[in-house]
Amino acid sequence: MERNRERMAEVREKSRLARELMRLLPGQVRLDEPMKLHTTWRIGGPADLFVEPDGVAGLAQALAFARRENLPVTIIGNGSNLLVKDGGIRGLVVKIGGGFRWLNIQGSRITAGAGTGLARLTGAAKEAGVGGFEFLAGIPGTVGGAVVMNAGAFGKATSDLCASVQLMDETGRLAERPGAALGFGYRTSNLQGSKLIVVAAVFRGTYREPQAIQAEMEDLFNRRKKTQPLGCPSAGSVFQNPPGISAGFLIERAGGKGMRAGDAAVSPVHANFIVNLGNATARDVLKLIEQVKIAVREKYAIELKPEVQIIGED
């Protein structure tokens, strides 16, 4: 009985917060938003409060509201490297999306909002004859996520291009930081775990003929098509590559291909991909991640580390 009263009080408080935030940011707020709608794995429980700001001012207002109400804040982009647990996310989830989808090209310099899709970025670079972005084609992420995670493929990374970023702190203040100050490493930067939010980034490419750019992009896409399960929901590579060796190679040699937990399965195309066969839950994926780690540990005495970000509650 007492627990029911507590739950009702929680529901009322959440409704109050939603109403106030909706008045502050009309048309940008949702209550109990299913996070499976915002991850490429198509998995995830509800976010208590979900806001997709229409720009920098809206983002600052959302952060101020969270501070005033003492709400935890979770920042997401396209959700392409994200596993949200089945219990969802408490507090406020802020999606850096439509209000941050813009770009500007000046010579070989491209400035893009954090919500700009990498497909749009690479397409614009090709049309302008700016090379260096080809490896990003086919990665289903956004500029902000690519910077934070130092996204990369085929031996290249976002850090190769990133000249500077514009960041917002939890108080809504904006600041510029050079790419060299971001502590870039393999699939990491010092923005991970910080409260700084990427608002925009400046990239520097090199002049190149659009036809040559197109040819390389097509070649890389064909390589992806042959080696990655593009037809099923996934979050890309699940594990980081240990030094000097491919995680996919280790998983395959350890018998990982064919492993399954519920509707989560190790892809038969690429062993470092876990795909959603239709109704996979986060619990399924986490169980399968542990199975794969155990198999590789027992065969090679190597501890695989997840590359995907795991957030939320069970």
Domain ranges across the chain? 2-95, 101-213, 229-311
Q: Please compute the mean of the pLDDT values over residues 145-173 and round it to a whole number.
A: 95
When the candidates are 3.90.78.10, 2.40.110.10, 3.90.1010.10, 1.10.150.120, the CATH number that belongs to 229-311 is: 3.90.78.10
Please provide the average confidence, as pLDDT, over all residues in the chain: 95
Active-site pick, 187, 189, 208, 267: 187
Annotation says 67 is catalytic: no
Residue 148 has pLDDT above 90, yes or no: yes
Q: What is the pLDDT of residues 24-78, one digit of tens each?
A: 999 999 999 999 999 999 999 999 999 999 999 999 999 999 999 999 999 999 9
Specify whether the backbone of 119 is left (phi greater than 0), alpha (psi in -120 to 50) or beta.
alpha
Q: What is the pLDDT of residues 121-142, one digit of tens each?
A: 999 999 999 999 999 988 889 9
Q: Hey, is 260 helix, strand or coil?
A: strand
Q: Please compute the mean of the pLDDT values over residues 10-17 and round it to a whole number.
A: 91
Dihedral sign, Cα of residue 246, residue 250, residue 253, residue 259: negative
Pair of tokens at residue 189: 């930067």
Cβ neighbours of residue 182 under 8 Å, at least 6 residues apart?
A: 147, 159, 162, 165, 189, 190, 191
DSSP 159-174: GGTEEEEEEE-TTS-E
When the candidates are 3.40.50.300, 1.10.1740.10, 2.102.10.10, 3.30.43.10, the CATH number that belongs to 2-95 is: 3.30.43.10
Annotation says 246 is catalytic: no
Active-site pick, 80, 159, 164, 237: 237
CA–CA distance, 197 with 75 (Å, rounded to integer): 8
What is the per-residue pLDDT for 308? 94
CATH number for the domain whose boundaries are 101-213: 3.30.465.10
Q: Please compute the mean of the pLDDT values over residues 187-197 and round it to a whole number.
A: 93
- Give the count of beta carbons closer than 10 Å to the beta carbon of residue 75: 20
Annotation says 237 is catalytic: yes
Active-site pick, 33, 52, 134, 307: 307
Radius of gyration of the chain from its Cα atoms, rounded to whole angstroms: 20
- Residues of the chain with pLDDT > 70, as a percent, come to 100
pLDDT grade, residue 22 (50/70/90)?
very high
Q: What is the pLDDT of residues 282-293, one digit of tens each?
A: 999 999 999 999
CA–CA distance, 209 with 171 (Å, rounded to integer): 44
Q: Is the full-model pTM beyond 0.75?
A: yes
The answer to whether the 2-95 and 229-311 domains have the same CATH topology is: no
DSSP state of 270: -
